[in-house]
Structure 1
Amino acid sequence: MASHRTPVRLRRGARYGAALGLAGALGAGVLLSGGPVTPRAVAAAPAAASLSLPRGNASFDYQLGGAYKPSAAVKVLSRDRSDRPVAGAYTICYVNGFQAQPEQLKWWQRKHPDLLLRDARGRLVIDKDWNEALLDTSTAAKRTRLASVVGAWIDGCSRHGFKAIEPDNLDSYARSKGLLTRADNVALATLLARRAHARGLAIGQKNSVELIPKAKRIGFDFAVAEECGRYDECGEYVAAYGSRVFVIEYRARDFAKACAAWGKRLSIVQRNLDLRPRGASGYLRKAC
C-alpha cells in the first residue's frame, strides 16, 4: 500500500475470512519453505516478452477477501495465494512479500525471528493500519533468505496454475521508522521478479507509484493500482505499463472519477474496502 500521498491509508482491504483458509494451509505445512532460486534456474527464466501477460482493459475482479465464482465476463482477477485460480481466466496470485500478516506472525517468530524488523529496543516494527510486522530487507543476506521463503510461495502459485503474482507492501520502507530504504525493497523486489520469471509467472507492481522509475530494472510486467484515481496516479502507471493497469477504487466518487478519465483504456472496479466475497453482507463490485 503506497503511503507517500495518502493522508489516510485505505489501500489493500483486509482479507475477509482469509485467515481461516490460510490457517488451514499453515497447519498442513503448505507453501511455507523452499530453496532459493539457483543461477541455472534464473538463467533459464523466460524473457518477459514470452510470459503470459494479462490483457489490458479486460473485465477484472479483485477477490483478496475470499474466492467466489466470478461473472462469465471476468477475464482477469486476483486471489490470495491460499486460494486457487479460475479456469479460463488470467488469475493473479497475491503474495504479501514485505510484511507478515497477523495470522502468520507466530510462524515467522518460530522459523525466522531475525527476518522480522526490530527497532533499537528489540521491538517489532508494526504497520499499525493492518497490524502487520515488517520484514527486514536491510541486508543482502536477509534479502536472499526472504526471497527463499517468499519464493516458495511463488513456486506454489506457479504449481497451482496462477499466471502472475502481485507482491504487496513494496513501500514498507516508508513505515520502517527509517530502518529500511527504498533501495532495500527494490533489491528484494528484483529477487522476487527473477523467481517469478524463472517459474513462468509475470509479476505486477502493486501500488508504490514512486517505484515506477525502477520498474524496468526490477522486472515488473504490469500494475495493480489501488486508488490511483483518487490520488491522480493512473497516468503514471499508464506511462509505464500501457493498458495493463488494473485499478481498484473503494469510494464511489473516486470510482466515478477513474472511470471518467480512464474507463475506456483500463480495467477499473469499485470494491468494498474489506473485499468481501459475493454473498457476504457488504459485498460490492462495480465496473466501468
Structure 2
Amino acid sequence: MRLPVLIAALVVTAALTTGLTTGPAEAAKLPDPVPCAGCWKPALNTSWEWRLSSLPAKPFLDVQMYDIDGFAAKSGAIVKELKAAKPGRKVVCYISAGTHEDWRPDAGRFPASVIGKPLEEWEGERWLDIRQYGGTLGEIMKARLDMCKAAGFDAVEPDNVDAYTNDSGFPLTAADQLAYNAWFANEAHKRGLAVGLKNDVAQIPKLLPYYDFAVNEQCWQYSECTTAQNGTYGYDQFVKAGKAVFQVEYELKTSQFCAKSNAQNFNSLKKTYDLDGTRTACR
C-alpha cells in the first residue's frame, strides 16, 4: 500500500533530518535471522502476477508466481488450482501485518489498545501498535501465518510494515519497526514460508538478512529504487544478495521505467491501483 505523494515527500524529509535508520546499538538488539533451508528462493528473473481485487480465474497467466489475497484463498482451493495448472508455480499469501482491516474475519480479535489512526484514502483500515507483538497482536499474526501455511502457500507478503514513517497514532520509532519486521520474518521462516519485504525501503540494509525477496510499489516514481538514488539503501542490494525484487508502477508509463528496471534485474509490472487483471510486464 503506497503512501500519497505528499506524505511520501514528508517521510523522506523526516528521514534526512532525524535519521530513520537505526544505529549499531539498536541493530544489535535484533534477534538472529531464523534460517529456512526449505523455503522457496525465487530466481532473480521470475515472472509474476499480483492480483488482490479478486482471485484469479482460468485461464491463468503463464507466470511462475502469483501473489494473491490470503484470506480470500484460505480454503486452499485456488492455490491448488494455480499450482496444478503450471507445475513449479509458487503462490504468495498477501496479508496486512501492520493495519487493522475492519472487513477481515479476525477483525474482532484485535484489542482496542493496538488500533490507531486511519490510513489516508483506505476506508476501514487503521494502523497497529506494532510494539505489542509480544501479546495478542503477535498471536493474531501467527494465526494469519498459520492460515497461509495451511492453504498451501509458499511465501507471504506482509503489507504495511512501515508504520513508523506514518501518522499511526503511536510514537513508533525505526527501532520498533525493525524489531517487528525481523520478528515477523522469523515467524514466517519457522513455518517454512518464504517472506518478502514490502516497501520499507530505508530499512533494507538491516532487514536484508531476514527477507527472501522484496515487493515494491512505485520506487521509480519516487526516485528511491537504488542505492545510487538514496545513498545507503536500495533494491539493488537485494539483487546483489541474489534475492528477487518484484516491483510495480501505477502512474508511470512503461517507457519511463521498464528499461531501468530491466537493467537492475527487477521483475517490474505496470498495474492499476485496483490490482486487477490489467497488467504489462517489463520483461
Match of 2:275 in 1: 275
Match of 1:60 in 2: 48
TM-aligned CA deviation for residue 50 of structure 1 = 4.1
Q: Deviations over 1:8-51 (max 9, x none)?
A: 67xxxxxxxxxxxxxxxxxxxxxxxxxxxxxxxx99x9724542
Correspondence 1:152-163 to 2 at 5 A: 152-163=143-154
How much is the aligned-residue C-alpha RMSD, in angstroms?
2.7
1:286 aligned to 274, 280, 283, which one?
280
1:209 aligned to 201, 213, 229, which one?
201
Match of 2:35 in 1: 47
Alignment of 1:138 with 2:137, yes or no, is no
Q: More relative contact order in 1 or in 2 (CA 8 Å, sep 6+)?
A: 1
User: Residues 216, 239 of structure 1: CA spacing in aligned structure 2 closer, same or farther, 3 A cutoff?
Assistant: closer
Which aligned segments of 4 or more residues in structure 1 are displaced greater than 3 angstroms? 69-72
- How many pairs align? 236
Match of 2:168 in 1: 176
In 1, Cα distance between the equivalents of 2:153 and 2:273? Answer: 24
TM-score (norm. length: structure 2): 0.74
Task: Give the percent of matched residue pairs that are identical in Structure 1 and Structure 2.
Answer: 30
TM-aligned CA deviation for residue 261 of structure 1 = 0.7
TM-aligned CA deviation for residue 177 of structure 1 = 4.4
TM-score (norm. length: structure 1): 0.73
TM-aligned CA deviation for residue 114 of structure 1 = 3.4
Correspondence 1:191-230 to 2 at 5 A: 191-216=183-208, 219-230=210-221
In 1, Cα distance between the equivalents of 2:255 and 2:152? Answer: 34
Unaligned runs of 5+ in 2: 9-30, 227-233
SS in structure 2 at match of 1:179 = coil
User: Residues 193, 50 of structure 1: CA spacing in aligned structure 2 closer, same or farther, 3 A cutoff?
Assistant: same
Match of 2:182 in 1: 190
Match of 2:25 in 1: none
TM-aligned CA deviation for residue 184 of structure 1 = 1.6
In 2, Cα distance between the equivalents of 1:125 and 1:72? Answer: 38
Counterpart contact for 1:206–1:225, Cα < 8 Å: yes
Unaligned runs of 5+ in 1: 10-41, 118-123, 279-283
SS in structure 2 at match of 1:247 = strand
Counterpart contact for 2:129–2:170, Cα < 8 Å: no
* Alignment-mate amino acid for residue 285 of structure 1: R
